[in-house]
Amino acid sequence: MAVTMTNEETFQFIELYQAENCLWNPINKNHKNKNIINDSWKRIADTMGVPVHELKKKKESLMTCFRNNLKKKYYR
């Protein structure tokens, strides 16, 4: 079952994701450490009350929208 997030929840998710540097920063020394990555996702999930797999889907959805809008900006 897909979780629908309000705009406020989406912004909260983005802020929590941004705070977990190891998830998105390839320069971070823990970027490839699966235990630390899983712990980071778990912290976000616990804070938001949403399962980790749903948060990962949401992240991919946001990234897809971002890439599509980026293409529109540069390839019009």
Q: What is the pLDDT of residues 32-41, one digit of tens each?
A: 999 999 999 9
Distance from C-alpha of 8 to C-alpha of 33, rounded to nearest angstrom: 30
Q: Are 27 and 20 in contact (CB under 8 A)?
A: no
Q: What is the pLDDT of residues 1-26, one digit of tens each?
A: 567 899 999 999 999 999 999 999 99
- What torsion, rounded to 10 degrees, do the Cα atoms 27, 72, 17, 21 define? 10
Distance from C-alpha of 30 to C-alpha of 4, rounded to nearest angstrom: 30
Q: Does residue 75 have a pLDDT over 70?
A: yes
Alpha helices in 1-76 (DSSP H): 7-19, 21-24, 34-48, 52-74
The confidence score (pLDDT) of residue 10 equals 96
The confidence score (pLDDT) of residue 4 equals 86
The confidence score (pLDDT) of residue 14 equals 97
% pLDDT > 70, the chain: 96
